[in-house]
Structure formats: structure tokens, C-alpha cells
Structure 1
Amino acid sequence: MTRNHIVQVCIIALCSCSILFVIEQVLDVNYFIKTASKAFFFLVIPIFYIKYILKLSVKESFNIQKVRWKSLRLGLLFGSLAFGIILIAYWFLRKIIDTDAIMYDLQVRSEITPEIFIFVAIYVTFGNSLMEEFYFRGFLFLNLYKTEYKVFAHVFSALLFSVYHTAIFATWFSFELMLLALAGLFIAGILFNWLNTYSQNFLNSWIFHIMADIAIILIGLHLYGIL
């Protein structure tokens, strides 16, 4: 990538995440519209940029032509640790988390009822995690990491990943818990990036992300009274 490409990718990332924040927190739209918007900004635009600006195939850009399954063991290991840490953290912090605010946001603003939660859970675990890993670790980190600005690649992608999630849980937590969540997401982003430097693709972090989301879904099932 040239310096112009680096600047273009960063501008695209900042604009995309800003627009998605407005869609998530300002506009009164349903969950389907939010999901479709995310797919457009996190899949369609990056694929278009990779194919027609960088002149690369997606497989070539993300090094996923030949995957050695042994190289994915780190994703399974750290994903298992994240699964346990998230559940333990919820157990200790559950008394100071405003679960009423979370449920209001999910059921009223996003219109996610108990009847459709299981379908949303499947999408979040596999579809949403894939889009985020494709975007933050594939399109952003791996492309930037191929340049001389490797430290910037780590920090920028992890920071944007953490700040982006404020669009999702901006109304869920107190200021202190919000800072804690942002710090945790930033550290997770750095760890995701580090895992992917070994395989040069985003599959390790996707496995990690899936297992972390499974823990979050279990908490959601508990809040909905399903589990």
C-alpha cells in the first residue's frame, strides 16, 4: 500500500464508523436496517476498495488461500480464556450493571423480542463477528500492517474497534463501566491483531471473537429469562 492508500483506508474507516454510530444511536431505525447498513460499510465498501483500488482479490489480500488448521490453535486457546473471563466478569459486576437499561435498549429501541433473540444470537455470533473481523482485522489491520507503519496498524485498528462499540452500548453503562469496557475492547483488539500476525489472516481473531460472543449471548439468554 502507498501512503495515499493508507490515508484513504483510514478516512474510509473513520467515516464508516461515524455513520454507523449515527444510524445506531441517532436515527430511529430497526435492527434489520442497522444490520444492512453494517454489511454495506463493513463488507461491500472494503471489497470494492480491495478489488478496484488495490487491484487485489479478497483471498490474496487476506492470505486465506491455504489455511493450516494448526495455525488456528491460538484462536481457540485465547477464545476459551475470553469465554471464561467474560462470564466471571459479569458474575462479579452484575449488581452494578444497569440490566434494565440494556433490556430497554434491546427490546424497545432495537425491537429484539425473546421470540427472535435466538435468531439474533446466531447472527451476532457468526455473521456479525465475521463482518467485524473482516473489517477491523482484515481490511484495516492486515492491510496497514503490510506497510512500515506496523505500530500504527495495531493502535489505530484496536482503538477504532473499541470506540466503534460505543455506538452499541452507549446507553447501557455508567461512565466508569464505559471506560472499563472501552479499555477491555482496546486490549482485545490488540490481542486480536497479535494473533493474526502469525497466520497473516483474520481467522484466529474470528474464532476468538465467536467464543467471546457465545459468552455474551449466554448472558443475554439469562437476561431474557430463557436460560
Structure 2
Amino acid sequence: MVKQLVLLFGPTIMIILGLPILQNVPITFLLFYGWLLLIPIVVSFRRKNRNRFFVPQPKSSLTVGIISGIICLIAIYGFFYLFQSLVIDRENLSTLLVQWDFTGSKVILLVFFLILVNPILEEFYWRRFMYDRLYPRLGSTFTILITSFFYSLYHLVVVMPIFNSPFHILAAMIVFLAGIMWGIFRSKFHTIVPSIVSHSLADLGIMLVYLFIIL
């Protein structure tokens, strides 16, 4: 039980260490993605678990991933385009990004990382690694709810200083619902490929907001 709680809270703790405490985005990336990548490898190696997470899937699963991702992308960009003045304080955000060292040439690298690497590591950790650990005891429904909650928890930590109140709560709730959707994909198709595709397109929407609305 203690080990499961550590695994569930671990990513959030890494985010808290990197942003509120150290206030540095590159260090946060190292801590957070280091956890998502290395912890499953270490645990799986110790358990000698060699189950594949990329398995053959019907074309319909990829179609679901693409369509859901495009819907997420349009919804994210459209929402910020319409309500940007209510959601974001541009002056405060600009100061915050400089304080977090999210500037200069690092931005291009981090944006690239968020679109291509982040969806793979997050989906692998929550919809494969943690899903497989919790599913035998809790079943699909509770596993999806629990992994989605902890997935949204560290997103709340990230958006609290960025979004005006109460939009940070709304953003966390939307992330929670997205986690449920991707968890359902995992349960239905027995692979994380559709959720990775959908997640990547959603993250692309966030990066487009940053590049074309915030900047």
C-alpha cells in the first residue's frame, strides 16, 4: 500500500520540488520525466515484468485516438482564443516564465519535448505502468478514476500560478476528464497507442496556445 502511494504521489512531488520550490522549468523536467522513465524500468526489472505496452491494435483504435485528439486540440485553442483575457494575466505569466527559466533557446527544446516525449512517458506511466499495478485489485473503473486523479493532481500544481482563479480548478478538472478518456481507451483497446496519439494532439493544442496566443 505504501509503495503504491509513493508511486501515485511521486510525479506530483517531483513537480512541487521543481516549480514551487526550485522555480526552474529545466530542472523540473529532469525530476519529473526522470521519475516517469526510471521508476517503471526499475520496478518492472525487479518484478521481471516484460509485458508489452505497444501491442497490435485495430485501425479503429488509431482513428479514435486521432479524432479525440483533434477535438481536444480545437477545444483547447478555441477556449483560450475566446477567453484569454479572463484566464491569463499576461504580465504576471511573462514574469513567471522568466523566473522559471522558460526562456530563450530552451523554449524550442521544451516545446518539442512536450509534444513528442511527454505524451509517451505520461501515458506509459499512468495508463500502462500504474494501470497494470492497480487493475488486478481494483478493476477497470476504480483504476481509471485513481490514475486520472493523480494524473490531474500535478497539473493543478502547474496551472495554479499560471491561470486566474477559478480557471486553475477548471483546468485540473478537464485534465481529470482527459485522463478518464485515455484510461477508457487503454481499457477498451488494451494498448496505450490511441491515448498517446490523442494526448500528443492535445499537447500540441496547448503549445499552439503558448506560441500564438500567449507570446
Contact 1:50 / 1:61 at 8 angstroms: preserved in 2? no
Residue of 6, 16, 27 corresponding to 2:22? 27
Structure 1 residue 71 corresponds to structure 2 residue 66: no
Q: Could you tell me which residue of structure 2 aligns to residue 52 of structure 1?
A: 46
Alpha carbons of 1:174 and 1:70: their partners in 2 closer, same or farther (altered >3 Å)? same
Q: 1:170 offset after TM fit, Å?
A: 2.1
In the alignment, the residues of structure 1 paired with residue 173 and residue 130 of structure 2 have an alpha-carbon distance, to the nearest angstrom, of: 20
- Which structure 2 residues correspond to residues 156-171 of structure 1 after superposition, within 5 A? 156-171=146-161
- Which structure 2 residues correspond to residues 141-220 of structure 1 after superposition, within 5 A? 141-220=131-210
Residue of 40, 56, 66 corresponding to 2:34? 40
CA RMSD of aligned residues (A): 2.1
Q: Which piece of structure 1 moves more, 209-218 or 163-172?
A: 163-172
Report the 3-state secondary structure (helix = DSSP H, G, I; strand = E; otherwise coil) of the residue aligned with 1:56. coil
Contact 1:20 / 1:167 at 8 angstroms: preserved in 2? yes
In the alignment, the residues of structure 1 paired with residue 96 and residue 124 of structure 2 have an alpha-carbon distance, to the nearest angstrom, of: 26
Contact 1:129 / 1:209 at 8 angstroms: preserved in 2? yes
Identity %: 21
**Which stretches in structure 1 are left out of the alignment for 5+ residues?**
none
Residue of 91, 96, 100 corresponding to 2:91? 100
In the alignment, the residues of structure 2 paired with residue 190 and residue 67 of structure 1 have an alpha-carbon distance, to the nearest angstrom, of: 20
Q: Could you tell me which residue of structure 2 aligns to residue 80 of structure 1?
A: 70
The two structures have a TM-score, normalised by structure 2, of 0.89
In the alignment, the residues of structure 1 paired with residue 122 and residue 61 of structure 2 have an alpha-carbon distance, to the nearest angstrom, of: 21
**Which stretches in structure 2 are left out of the alignment for 5+ residues?**
none
Alignment size in residue pairs = 214
Q: Could you tell me which residue of structure 2 aligns to residue 14 of structure 1?
A: 9
In the alignment, the residues of structure 2 paired with residue 166 and residue 68 of structure 1 have an alpha-carbon distance, to the nearest angstrom, of: 34
CA-to-aligned-CA distance 1:61-120 (integer Å, 9 cap, x gap): 53x2434444321111100111111111112211212232332222322x1225442222
Contact 1:142 / 1:201 at 8 angstroms: preserved in 2? no
Report the 3-state secondary structure (helix = DSSP H, G, I; strand = E; otherwise coil) of the residue aligned with 1:96. helix
Q: Which piece of structure 1 moves more, 144-153 or 167-176?
A: 144-153
In the alignment, the residues of structure 2 paired with residue 194 and residue 150 of structure 1 have an alpha-carbon distance, to the nearest angstrom, of: 8
In the alignment, the residues of structure 1 paired with residue 177 and residue 146 of structure 2 have an alpha-carbon distance, to the nearest angstrom, of: 12
